Each structure stands twice: as C-alpha cells, then as structure tokens.
Structure 1
C-alpha cells in the first residue's frame, strides 16, 4: 500500500495524536515531503488512532 503526504507538521495532527513525552507536538516537523508517496510497511491501531509505519526521508 502507498500513501501520499499531505502535511508534515504537528499542527496538522488531531489533538488526540499529539504526545509531548515522545516529541509529538504542534511544534514537531516530520521528515516527510508534502506530495511524495511513501510505502506503508505496517498499520496499527492504538487507543482509537490509526498509525501507518513508513520510512521517512532520512531512511537510507
């Protein structure tokens, strides 16, 4: 499965996805390129939130 990045900052996340203890805040900038497609390697659901596991732009 592939997904396309539509935003790369924490300000775009719903509040229930923010978690300051792991540096996921409105200030966070994710290492993703808006408009780029990413391969999804896994999908998880935790506490009603869906997570896609991808390799970000720093993956070598």
Structure 2
C-alpha cells in the first residue's frame, strides 16, 4: 500500500509525503508506478485546483 499526502508549507509551496508498506500481493513496478502517478496527479489537482479564469 502507498499513502500519498500533499500539503502546503508555510511558504504556500506543495510538499509531498509518501509512505509505502509491503503488500501481500506483489504488483509489477510498472503497475505501481502507474497507480502512483494517477494518485499523485489526482491529489495534486484536488489540493491545488487550476485557477479560475478572470473574465473581468
């Protein structure tokens, strides 16, 4: 299992914390990397949504 936490530091910059535990079911490194990248992208987008365009 991989836990990923994204927070902001005192300067407003993102900080990523990753905790990995050995799982009973082994996955290939490619599958782990794919799941990690999807999770990280989703968490980052949720934590730091894109700015809303200013239409004036």
**TM-score interval (norm. to shorter):** under 0.3
> Which of these two proteins has the greater Rg computed from alpha carbons?
2
Between structures 1 and 2, the one with greater helix share: 2
